[in-house]
Amino acid sequence: MADQNRPGREGRSQGGRPEGGQGRPTRGGRPDQRAGKDTRREPGKGRDAGRDADRDAGKGAAGRGAAGKPARSGGGRPGRKDDWRRPQDDRRARTEEQARYDGPPIPEEITGKELDRSVTAQLKGLPEKLAARVARHLAAAGMLIDEDPKTAYQHTLAARARAARLAVVREACGEAAYAAGEYAEALSELRAAKRMNGATAYLPIMADCERALGRPERALTLAKSPAVANFAPEAKAEMTIVEAGARRDLGEFDAALRTLEHAPLNSKSRASWVVRLRYAYADTLLAAGRPEDALEWFHRTEAIDGEEITDAGARAADLEKSLG
């Protein structure tokens, strides 16, 4: 799906384990031998005579280790290689989690005061230092989302690791994930934000995530949500574009065209949402096998696209060449 047809964005060791061989259980009841020396006492001599008698009677150390504890079955303890593998894996997991928590470096000039007041207000319930850190990550994400969406997404993950119960944080995380092409994560985060604050403004992006995940029917279901009727013109246009795209995904080109024709394509406004509506209509006309009509609408799109948010001019030029 072309960008123009997507919704816009306004080492420690194990404790307690004895070192060396001291205290290690013996194998099969045999005592340790170090440096080739047999450390066993001769039977019947000294203070161990009684214990040796017990051993001879099968009552004592035959089932005990050197430390007087029951010997382990199955050949004793696992080798050191197995002992250390799991701690290394755990350490790696902790390292990845810590890296996510830390997030990318935040430029010193970003203070968090760049955020809108409505966002800052939602952070006031956090401790002061924590709120400041979350604000800086969110501000950094907002600055990077267009030019480096993956890094922006990492910033929002760092904010989420600190304040996952705030809807504004989950919303930012979802929008950054969407920009980075992480559609499943974006959908999950925006659903969480919607549960928290009941907002429906995320519906166009959520619907487009469903499209990107190969579920156009779910996108159409979201497009028919009652809340869409009350959307502002820009949000309504974005949902119309997604709905038409879902129809195209299903091979329903005529239905896609009808969806777009019910939108204000002939608006005199030069707002970006009108540009995007016209572009989507031209592109759908071409996909439906109507190149002459598509050429007209690419030109009409270019005429109001002063900021060149689409490639309508280039598309028109290519189409003119192909039509001769």
- Least confident among 17-31, 128-142, 210-224, 270-284: 17-31
Position 105 scores a pLDDT of 92
CATH of the domain at 151: 1.25.40
Question: In this structure, is residue 257 part of a structural domain?
Answer: no
C-alpha Rg value of the chain to the nearest Å: 34
The DSSP element (H or E) to which 208 belongs, if any, is: helix 203-212
- Please enumerate in sequence order all residues whose Cβ is within 8 A of that of 268, keeping only pairs 6 or more positions apart, or say none: none
Question: In this structure, is residue 204 part of a structural domain?
Answer: no
State which amino acid sits at residue 228. V
- Number of domains the chain contains: 1
CA distance linking residue 253 with residue 238, whole number of Å: 18
Domain of 132 in residue numbering reads as: 97-199
CA distance linking residue 273 with residue 89, whole number of Å: 49
Position 101 scores a pLDDT of 82
Position 261 scores a pLDDT of 98
CB-based contact 76:27 (threshold 8 Å): yes
Q: Residue 55: is its pLDDT beyond 60?
A: no
Question: In this structure, is residue 105 part of a structural domain?
Answer: yes
Q: Residue 17: is its pLDDT beyond 50?
A: no
CA distance linking residue 157 with residue 176, whole number of Å: 9
- Least confident among 50-64, 264-278, 284-298: 50-64
Percent of the chain with pLDDT strictly greater than 70: 71
CA distance linking residue 155 with residue 173, whole number of Å: 8
Task: Of 280, 289, 283, give the one whose Cα is nearest residue 262.
Answer: 280
CB-based contact 200:227 (threshold 8 Å): yes
Question: In this structure, is residue 103 part of a structural domain?
Answer: yes
Question: In this structure, is residue 240 part of a structural domain?
Answer: no
What would the DSSP string read from start to end of 230-294?
A: GS-HHHHHHHHHHHHHHHHHTT-HHHHHHHHHTS-TT-S---HHHHHHHHHHHHHHHHTT-HHHH
CA distance linking residue 139 with residue 103, whole number of Å: 13
Over the stretch 209-265, which tens digit does the pLDDT of each residue have?
A: 999 999 999 999 999 999 999 999 999 999 999 999 999 999 999 999 999 999 999
CA distance linking residue 295 with residue 317, whole number of Å: 9
- Least confident among 64-68, 289-293, 315-319: 64-68
- Please enumerate in sequence order all residues whose Cβ is within 8 A of that of 10, keeping only pairs 6 or more positions apart, or say none: 234
CA distance linking residue 309 with residue 302, whole number of Å: 10
Question: In this structure, is residue 282 part of a structural domain?
Answer: no
Higher local confidence (pLDDT), 8 or 290: 290
CA distance linking residue 240 with residue 261, whole number of Å: 10
The DSSP element (H or E) to which 157 belongs, if any, is: helix 149-162
Question: In this structure, is residue 311 part of a structural domain?
Answer: no
CA distance linking residue 22 with residue 287, whole number of Å: 78
Question: In this structure, is residue 151 part of a structural domain?
Answer: yes
Q: Name the one residue in this structure whose structure tokens are 């109507």.
A: 290
Position 111 scores a pLDDT of 95
